[in-house]
Protein backbone atom coordinates (compact mmCIF):
# COMPACT_ATOMS: atom_id res chain seq x y z
CA UNK A 1 0.00 0.00 0.00
CA UNK A 2 1.44 3.36 -1.10
CA UNK A 3 0.77 6.87 0.13
CA UNK A 4 -0.48 9.58 -2.22
CA UNK A 5 2.48 11.54 -3.54
CA UNK A 6 2.46 15.32 -4.07
CA UNK A 7 2.43 15.36 -7.90
CA UNK A 8 -0.60 15.27 -10.23
CA UNK A 9 0.22 14.36 -13.84
CA UNK A 10 -1.45 14.84 -17.19
CA UNK A 11 -1.79 11.94 -19.66
CA UNK A 12 -1.18 11.95 -23.39
CA UNK A 13 -4.17 10.12 -24.86
CA UNK A 14 -7.28 8.01 -24.49
CA UNK A 15 -5.70 5.02 -22.71
CA UNK A 16 -2.70 4.47 -20.46
CA UNK A 17 0.58 3.72 -22.17
CA UNK A 18 3.14 1.39 -20.62
CA UNK A 19 5.29 4.43 -19.78
CA UNK A 20 2.35 6.12 -18.04
CA UNK A 21 1.55 3.03 -15.99
CA UNK A 22 5.12 3.07 -14.74
CA UNK A 23 5.03 6.81 -14.04
CA UNK A 24 1.77 6.57 -12.11
CA UNK A 25 3.31 3.96 -9.82
CA UNK A 26 6.05 6.42 -8.84
CA UNK A 27 5.76 7.12 -5.09
CA UNK A 28 5.76 10.89 -5.70
CA UNK A 29 2.62 10.68 -7.86
CA UNK A 30 -0.73 11.19 -6.16
CA UNK A 31 -3.14 12.04 -8.93
CA UNK A 32 -4.04 12.46 -12.59
CA UNK A 33 -5.71 15.40 -14.32
CA UNK A 34 -7.71 14.67 -17.47
CA UNK A 35 -8.22 16.98 -20.46
CA UNK A 36 -10.24 16.97 -23.68
CA UNK A 37 -7.41 14.96 -25.29
CA UNK A 38 -8.19 12.14 -22.85
CA UNK A 39 -11.90 12.01 -23.65
CA UNK A 40 -13.73 10.29 -26.51
CA UNK A 41 -16.84 8.81 -24.91
CA UNK A 42 -18.22 7.97 -21.45
CA UNK A 43 -17.32 4.31 -21.95
CA UNK A 44 -13.75 5.14 -22.96
CA UNK A 45 -13.12 7.55 -20.07
CA UNK A 46 -14.69 5.09 -17.62
CA UNK A 47 -12.23 2.42 -18.79
CA UNK A 48 -9.40 4.94 -18.37
CA UNK A 49 -10.39 5.95 -14.82
CA UNK A 50 -10.87 2.29 -13.85
CA UNK A 51 -7.36 1.52 -15.14
CA UNK A 52 -5.89 4.45 -13.17
CA UNK A 53 -7.70 3.52 -9.97
CA UNK A 54 -6.61 -0.12 -10.28
CA UNK A 55 -2.91 0.79 -10.21
CA UNK A 56 -2.55 1.60 -6.52
CA UNK A 57 -4.05 1.66 -3.05
CA UNK A 58 -5.11 4.15 -1.92
CA UNK A 59 -6.44 5.04 -5.37
CA UNK A 60 -4.80 7.89 -7.24
CA UNK A 61 -6.97 11.01 -7.32
CA UNK A 62 -8.52 11.76 -10.71
CA UNK A 63 -9.43 15.37 -11.49
CA UNK A 64 -10.68 17.43 -14.41
CA UNK A 65 -11.53 21.07 -15.14
CA UNK A 66 -15.29 20.90 -15.63
CA UNK A 67 -16.69 24.32 -14.73
CA UNK A 68 -19.10 24.75 -17.63
CA UNK A 69 -19.07 27.38 -20.35
CA UNK A 70 -15.64 27.71 -21.94
CA UNK A 71 -14.03 25.30 -19.48
CA UNK A 72 -15.62 21.87 -19.78
CA UNK A 73 -13.28 19.08 -20.88
CA UNK A 74 -15.89 16.36 -21.48
CA UNK A 75 -18.64 17.50 -23.85
CA UNK A 76 -20.00 14.75 -26.10
CA UNK A 77 -22.64 12.75 -24.14
CA UNK A 78 -22.27 15.06 -21.13
CA UNK A 79 -24.68 17.86 -20.27
CA UNK A 80 -23.39 21.17 -21.65
CA UNK A 81 -23.18 23.33 -18.55
CA UNK A 82 -23.74 27.09 -18.83
CA UNK A 83 -21.01 29.47 -17.72
CA UNK A 84 -21.66 30.29 -14.06
CA UNK A 85 -22.02 33.98 -14.90
CA UNK A 86 -25.58 33.11 -15.93
CA UNK A 87 -26.31 32.16 -12.33
CA UNK A 88 -25.05 35.54 -11.18
CA UNK A 89 -27.35 37.27 -13.64
CA UNK A 90 -30.31 35.29 -12.31
CA UNK A 91 -29.25 36.15 -8.76
CA UNK A 92 -29.64 39.85 -9.55
CA UNK A 93 -33.33 39.22 -10.21
CA UNK A 94 -34.15 36.29 -7.92
CA UNK A 95 -31.52 35.16 -5.39
CA UNK A 96 -33.51 32.15 -4.16
CA UNK A 97 -33.97 30.83 -7.69
CA UNK A 98 -30.26 31.35 -8.46
CA UNK A 99 -29.26 29.43 -5.34
CA UNK A 100 -31.47 26.50 -6.28
CA UNK A 101 -30.16 26.44 -9.84
CA UNK A 102 -26.57 26.61 -8.58
CA UNK A 103 -27.22 23.62 -6.31
CA UNK A 104 -28.82 21.65 -9.16
CA UNK A 105 -25.96 22.54 -11.54
CA UNK A 106 -23.30 21.55 -9.02
CA UNK A 107 -25.07 18.24 -8.43
CA UNK A 108 -25.45 17.51 -12.14
CA UNK A 109 -21.82 18.30 -12.93
CA UNK A 110 -20.58 16.13 -10.08
CA UNK A 111 -23.04 13.26 -10.63
CA UNK A 112 -22.04 12.87 -14.29
CA UNK A 113 -18.32 12.95 -13.46
CA UNK A 114 -18.66 10.51 -10.57
CA UNK A 115 -20.52 8.13 -12.89
CA UNK A 116 -17.37 7.80 -15.02
CA UNK A 117 -14.96 7.55 -12.09
CA UNK A 118 -13.67 11.13 -11.75
CA UNK A 119 -13.03 12.07 -8.13
CA UNK A 120 -13.38 15.84 -8.40
CA UNK A 121 -13.52 18.86 -10.67
CA UNK A 122 -11.41 21.96 -10.10
CA UNK A 123 -14.51 24.04 -9.42
CA UNK A 124 -16.08 26.38 -8.54
CA UNK A 125 -14.27 29.55 -9.59
CA UNK A 126 -14.33 32.02 -6.67
CA UNK A 127 -12.69 34.91 -8.55
CA UNK A 128 -14.58 38.17 -8.90
CA UNK A 129 -15.41 39.56 -12.30
CA UNK A 130 -13.92 43.05 -12.21
CA UNK A 131 -14.56 43.45 -15.93
CA UNK A 132 -10.86 43.42 -16.87
CA UNK A 133 -9.80 39.73 -17.01
CA UNK A 134 -10.55 37.89 -20.23
CA UNK A 135 -9.29 34.60 -18.80
CA UNK A 136 -11.81 34.85 -15.94
CA UNK A 137 -14.77 36.76 -17.44
CA UNK A 138 -17.92 34.64 -17.42
CA UNK A 139 -16.16 31.90 -15.44
CA UNK A 140 -16.90 34.08 -12.40
CA UNK A 141 -20.34 34.03 -10.80
CA UNK A 142 -20.43 37.78 -10.17
CA UNK A 143 -18.51 40.94 -9.28
CA UNK A 144 -19.88 41.01 -5.70
CA UNK A 145 -17.98 38.66 -3.33
CA UNK A 146 -21.07 38.05 -1.20
CA UNK A 147 -23.00 36.85 -4.27
CA UNK A 148 -20.05 34.69 -5.37
CA UNK A 149 -19.92 33.05 -1.95
CA UNK A 150 -23.70 32.60 -1.85
CA UNK A 151 -23.81 30.84 -5.22
CA UNK A 152 -20.58 28.89 -4.70
CA UNK A 153 -21.92 27.61 -1.38
CA UNK A 154 -25.08 26.33 -3.09
CA UNK A 155 -23.03 24.87 -5.98
CA UNK A 156 -20.76 23.05 -3.50
CA UNK A 157 -23.73 21.63 -1.60
CA UNK A 158 -24.99 20.09 -4.85
CA UNK A 159 -21.55 18.64 -5.59
CA UNK A 160 -21.37 17.11 -2.13
CA UNK A 161 -24.79 15.51 -2.53
CA UNK A 162 -23.37 13.75 -5.61
CA UNK A 163 -20.29 12.52 -3.68
CA UNK A 164 -17.75 15.15 -4.73
CA UNK A 165 -15.82 17.79 -2.80
CA UNK A 166 -15.24 21.27 -4.24
CA UNK A 167 -11.93 22.97 -5.12
CA UNK A 168 -12.16 26.78 -5.10
CA UNK A 169 -9.88 28.79 -7.36
CA UNK A 170 -7.82 31.00 -7.90
CA UNK A 171 -6.79 32.23 -4.41
CA UNK A 172 -6.60 35.13 -3.52
CA UNK A 173 -8.30 36.28 -6.76
CA UNK A 174 -7.31 36.35 -10.44
CA UNK A 175 -10.07 38.68 -11.66
CA UNK A 176 -8.44 42.05 -11.01
CA UNK A 177 -5.85 42.08 -13.82
CA UNK A 178 -6.05 41.64 -17.58
CA UNK A 179 -2.98 39.42 -18.05
CA UNK A 180 -3.45 35.66 -18.57
CA UNK A 181 -1.20 33.54 -16.34
CA UNK A 182 -1.13 30.82 -19.03
CA UNK A 183 0.92 33.24 -21.16
CA UNK A 184 2.70 35.57 -18.71
CA UNK A 185 3.01 36.40 -15.02
CA UNK A 186 0.15 38.76 -14.09
CA UNK A 187 0.96 41.47 -11.54
CA UNK A 188 -1.86 42.78 -9.35
CA UNK A 189 -0.81 46.09 -7.75
CA UNK A 190 -3.51 46.14 -5.04
CA UNK A 191 -2.65 46.13 -1.35
CA UNK A 192 -3.67 43.39 1.04
CA UNK A 193 -6.30 45.69 2.56
CA UNK A 194 -7.84 46.28 -0.88
CA UNK A 195 -7.93 42.53 -1.59
CA UNK A 196 -9.31 41.77 1.88
CA UNK A 197 -12.48 43.82 1.34
CA UNK A 198 -13.10 42.41 -2.14
CA UNK A 199 -11.60 39.28 -3.73
CA UNK A 200 -10.57 37.57 -0.50
CA UNK A 201 -14.07 37.73 0.95
CA UNK A 202 -15.48 34.97 -1.26
CA UNK A 203 -12.62 32.66 -0.29
CA UNK A 204 -13.01 33.53 3.39
CA UNK A 205 -16.74 32.71 3.28
CA UNK A 206 -16.17 29.37 1.53
CA UNK A 207 -13.42 28.42 3.99
CA UNK A 208 -15.91 29.11 6.78
CA UNK A 209 -18.38 26.77 5.05
CA UNK A 210 -15.78 23.96 5.11
CA UNK A 211 -14.26 24.05 1.59
CA UNK A 212 -12.12 20.93 1.08
CA UNK A 213 -9.48 22.35 -1.29
CA UNK A 214 -8.17 25.50 -2.96
CA UNK A 215 -5.96 26.37 -5.92
CA UNK A 216 -3.82 29.53 -5.70
CA UNK A 217 -3.29 31.85 -8.65
CA UNK A 218 -0.08 32.23 -10.62
CA UNK A 219 -0.37 35.96 -9.90
CA UNK A 220 2.13 38.28 -8.22
CA UNK A 221 0.80 40.72 -5.61
CA UNK A 222 3.96 42.79 -4.98
CA UNK A 223 2.47 44.81 -2.12
CA UNK A 224 1.98 41.53 -0.22
CA UNK A 225 4.95 39.36 -1.25
CA UNK A 226 7.67 39.13 -3.90
CA UNK A 227 6.56 35.63 -4.99
CA UNK A 228 3.40 34.67 -6.91
CA UNK A 229 0.65 33.38 -4.61
CA UNK A 230 1.20 29.71 -5.46
CA UNK A 231 4.87 29.95 -4.45
CA UNK A 232 4.40 32.26 -1.48
CA UNK A 233 4.61 31.07 2.12
CA UNK A 234 3.23 34.49 3.07
CA UNK A 235 0.02 33.79 1.13
CA UNK A 236 -0.31 30.06 1.78
CA UNK A 237 1.05 29.55 5.29
CA UNK A 238 0.56 32.93 6.96
CA UNK A 239 -2.63 34.23 5.35
CA UNK A 240 -4.44 31.11 4.15
CA UNK A 241 -3.51 28.64 6.89
CA UNK A 242 -2.99 30.84 9.96
CA UNK A 243 -5.15 33.92 9.39
CA UNK A 244 -8.04 32.37 7.42
CA UNK A 245 -7.65 29.02 9.23
CA UNK A 246 -8.00 26.96 6.06
CA UNK A 247 -7.70 23.24 6.84
CA UNK A 248 -8.15 21.76 3.35
CA UNK A 249 -5.77 20.74 0.56
CA UNK A 250 -3.87 23.26 -1.57
CA UNK A 251 -3.22 22.41 -5.24
CA UNK A 252 -0.80 24.45 -7.33
CA UNK A 253 -2.03 25.65 -10.68
CA UNK A 254 -0.29 24.00 -13.64
CA UNK A 255 3.49 24.36 -13.25
CA UNK A 256 3.83 24.35 -17.04
CA UNK A 257 2.10 27.75 -17.29
CA UNK A 258 4.17 30.84 -18.10
CA UNK A 259 2.98 32.43 -14.86
CA UNK A 260 5.02 29.84 -12.93
CA UNK A 261 8.25 30.71 -14.72
CA UNK A 262 9.54 33.06 -12.03
CA UNK A 263 10.12 30.03 -9.79
CA UNK A 264 12.75 28.52 -12.12
CA UNK A 265 13.04 25.08 -13.76
CA UNK A 266 10.18 22.58 -13.43
CA UNK A 267 11.79 20.77 -10.45
CA UNK A 268 12.53 24.14 -8.81
CA UNK A 269 8.91 25.21 -9.34
CA UNK A 270 7.62 22.02 -7.74
CA UNK A 271 9.95 22.29 -4.74
CA UNK A 272 9.10 25.97 -4.28
CA UNK A 273 5.34 25.38 -4.43
CA UNK A 274 5.51 22.49 -1.93
CA UNK A 275 7.80 24.44 0.40
CA UNK A 276 5.42 27.41 0.28
CA UNK A 277 2.54 25.24 1.45
CA UNK A 278 0.99 23.37 -1.49
CA UNK A 279 -0.02 19.78 -0.81
CA UNK A 280 0.01 18.74 -4.47
CA UNK A 281 1.51 20.28 -7.62
CA UNK A 282 0.18 19.92 -11.17
CA UNK A 283 2.41 18.98 -14.11
CA UNK A 284 -0.11 18.78 -16.93
CA UNK A 285 1.24 19.19 -20.43
CA UNK A 286 5.00 18.60 -20.59
CA UNK A 287 6.03 14.98 -20.04
CA UNK A 288 9.76 15.74 -19.87
CA UNK A 289 9.12 18.40 -17.23
CA UNK A 290 6.94 15.97 -15.25
CA UNK A 291 9.66 13.31 -15.27
CA UNK A 292 12.21 15.90 -14.15
CA UNK A 293 9.93 16.94 -11.29
CA UNK A 294 9.55 13.36 -10.10
CA UNK A 295 13.31 12.84 -10.20
CA UNK A 296 13.95 16.15 -8.43
CA UNK A 297 11.76 15.61 -5.38
CA UNK A 298 12.92 13.94 -2.21
CA UNK A 299 11.25 10.84 -0.84
CA UNK A 300 9.70 12.30 2.32
CA UNK A 301 5.89 12.65 2.30
CA UNK A 302 3.89 14.91 4.59
CA UNK A 303 1.37 12.89 6.65
CA UNK A 304 -0.84 15.97 7.15
CA UNK A 305 -1.04 16.45 3.38
CA UNK A 306 -2.06 12.80 3.10
CA UNK A 307 -5.07 13.40 5.34
CA UNK A 308 -6.10 16.47 3.36
CA UNK A 309 -5.81 14.69 0.01
CA UNK A 310 -7.55 11.45 1.02
CA UNK A 311 -10.64 13.54 1.78
CA UNK A 312 -10.92 14.32 -1.95
CA UNK A 313 -11.65 10.77 -3.08
CA UNK A 314 -15.12 10.64 -4.62
CA UNK A 315 -17.85 8.99 -2.58
CA UNK A 316 -20.26 6.43 -4.04
CA UNK A 317 -20.27 5.34 -7.64
CA UNK A 318 -23.10 5.06 -10.11
CA UNK A 319 -22.81 4.66 -13.86
CA UNK A 320 -24.21 6.81 -16.63
CA UNK A 321 -26.87 4.29 -17.62
CA UNK A 322 -28.27 4.13 -14.08
CA UNK A 323 -27.89 7.89 -13.67
CA UNK A 324 -29.90 8.58 -16.83
CA UNK A 325 -32.76 6.47 -15.49
CA UNK A 326 -32.81 8.56 -12.33
CA UNK A 327 -35.78 11.01 -12.39
CA UNK A 328 -33.70 13.52 -10.40
CA UNK A 329 -31.10 13.57 -13.19
CA UNK A 330 -33.84 13.88 -15.82
CA UNK A 331 -35.35 16.90 -14.08
CA UNK A 332 -31.92 18.41 -13.44
CA UNK A 333 -30.81 18.35 -17.08
CA UNK A 334 -33.98 20.14 -18.18
CA UNK A 335 -33.42 22.88 -15.62
CA UNK A 336 -29.73 23.29 -16.42
CA UNK A 337 -30.21 23.25 -20.19
CA UNK A 338 -32.74 26.08 -19.90
CA UNK A 339 -32.57 27.99 -16.64
CA UNK A 340 -35.48 30.24 -17.64
CA UNK A 341 -38.00 27.58 -18.63
CA UNK A 342 -39.00 26.26 -15.21
CA UNK A 343 -40.54 27.80 -12.10
CA UNK A 344 -38.82 27.57 -8.73
CA UNK A 345 -39.47 24.05 -7.49
CA UNK A 346 -37.93 22.09 -4.67
CA UNK A 347 -35.84 19.13 -5.82
CA UNK A 348 -34.28 16.48 -3.64
CA UNK A 349 -30.79 17.87 -4.20
Q: Is 238 an active-site residue? A: no
**DSSP-assigned beta bridge partners for residue 68:** 71
CA separation for the pair 186, 105 (Å, rounded): 31
Contacts of 346 (CB under 8 A, 6+ apart): 100
Contacts of 199 (CB under 8 A, 6+ apart): 127, 128, 145, 172, 173, 175, 176
Q: Judge contact between 74 and 66, C-beta under 8 A.
A: yes
Q: Is 182 an active-site residue? A: yes
Contacts of 149 (CB under 8 A, 6+ apart): 126, 201, 202, 205, 206, 209
CA separation for the pair 253, 79 (Å, rounded): 26
Q: Which of 127, 188, 253, 279 is catalytic?
A: 253
CA distances for 121 relative to 18, 25, 64, 194, angstroms = 26, 22, 5, 30
Q: Which of 50, 94, 182, 302 is catalytic?
A: 182
Instruction: Cite the active site residues.
Output: 182, 253
Amino acid sequence: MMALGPVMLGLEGLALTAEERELLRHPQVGGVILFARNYQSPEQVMALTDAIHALRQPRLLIAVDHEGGRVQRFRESFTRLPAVRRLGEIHDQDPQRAQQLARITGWLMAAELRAVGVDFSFAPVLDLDHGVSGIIGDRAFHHDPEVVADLAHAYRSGMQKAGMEAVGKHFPGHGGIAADSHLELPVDPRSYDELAVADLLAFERMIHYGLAALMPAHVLYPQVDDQPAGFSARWLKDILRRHLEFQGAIFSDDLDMAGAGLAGTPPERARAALAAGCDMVLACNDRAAAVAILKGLGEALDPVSQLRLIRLHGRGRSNLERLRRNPVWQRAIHRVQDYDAFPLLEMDI
